[in-house]
Amino acid sequence: MAVVQAPSIADVLIASLNDLGRLKFTDLMSDKQNTIALKRIFKDKKTSVEDSGPEFQFNIITNTNSSAEHVGIGYVHQVDIPNILATGKMPFRHTKWAWAMERRLVAMNQGRAKIVDIAQTQRLAALGSAILLFERTLWRCPSLAEFDLHPVGLPYFVVKSATAATRANNNGFNGTVPSGYTLVADINPSTGANGRWKNYSDAYTAKTQDDLFTKMRRAQYYTDFMPLVDGMPTYEQGNDYGIYVNYETYKVVGDTLRAQNDNLGKDVSAMEGQGTFMRTPFTPVIQLDDDTTDPVYMINWGCLGAKVLKGEWMREEYFKAEARQPTVFQTVTDCTWNLFCTNRRRQAVLSNGTTMPD
């Protein structure tokens, strides 16, 4: 067997990673039956930020200037220039995962000893760790104490409320700030000027036509905003809906459809065996099984997604020697990113409580 020296380890490993095919594995890395954050959502809903800097921002017009009025002949005209702009800001956060190989393991697993598979298992284990972290991150809101370190998840922008969605109660726009916070994306939705910086929320008790499905129809109607001025430049990329629930809710929807309840109407139906609402599938999320409030997240991805710093998404640094472990070579993958939402009024959540899982 040829001796493998330190300078050749990186070349051997990189060449080995070009062929990942020989052995197969049974995946027992996780208790989660499925994950969707890194595989589906971030894959399709992320955009790059071209500029450098510690944060990214977006602009909001909070009101009209209230200058339109009916007037008589020879009216006196006076116009104000009100402050109608707010700036949302989201800081970048950083996520990393890593794996390593030891020089003597490389030497012992050359040729027929299948070094390719040893490297592959370590790399897959590291990526599996990242997939689980992104999944947990997407479906929880960090505490205020964690905010300086953790990226935010959907519950940071789409906040539950126990207030019933009625005309008397702000037409359902009662999702203000997560527990412990006073700002969302550096904007205070409790001040008069920023009072529209809220998401739709409603409370339900039963997963029935008269309760949950009726309230989902209401949520869909009241979050379907069109630009007030035609041709107005906006951040939105068109409607791109997703409905996310835990297994218990997903099961009830399926059972209801199988019972062929004619009272459901055409909004709730089955499409290729999967329950849908207004042609949007109910997507079961295992991570939401930990949420005892049985939330129904009605997300419009046209104005929500992930921002990443250009050149700093899945950036892999190959096989650098450890300073204190000269026989160990590690690979680190870094991501600089955070979630963003430019229009909270297009987002809705229905739940039977307001608590959040740890």
Give the DSSP per-residue string, 238-265: S--EEEEE-HHHHHHHHHHHHTT-GGG-
Q: Which residues pair with 300 in a beta bridge?
A: 241
Tens digit of each residue's pLDDT, the chain (358 residues): 444 444 444 554 554 454 444 455 566 666 666 788 887 788 888 777 756 678 888 888 888 777 788 888 988 888 888 777 888 999 999 999 998 877 777 666 666 655 456 777 788 888 889 999 999 999 999 999 999 999 999 999 999 999 999 999 889 999 999 999 999 999 999 988 898 999 999 999 999 888 999 999 999 999 998 777 777 777 777 788 999 999 999 998 888 776 655 555 556 666 555 788 888 999 999 999 999 999 999 999 999 999 998 888 889 887 777 767 777 888 889 999 999 999 999 999 999 999 998 8
Distance CA 209, CA 207 (A): 7
- Average model confidence (pLDDT) across the chain: 82
Domain boundaries, the chain: 94-184+198-358
Helix axes 6-16, 115-138, angle to 10 degrees: 70
Which candidate, 70, 68, 64, 69, places its Cα nearest to that of 82? 64
**Cα Dmax for the chain:** 101
To which residue do tokens 């399926």 refer? 254
Query: Contact, 86 vs 60, CB < 8 A?
Result: yes
E-strand ranges in the chain read 46-49, 55-61, 85-91, 93-102, 200-203, 241-245, 268-271, 274-277, 280-284, 296-300, 304-309, 315-321, 328-341, 348-351
Query: Contact, 28 vs 277, CB < 8 A?
Result: no
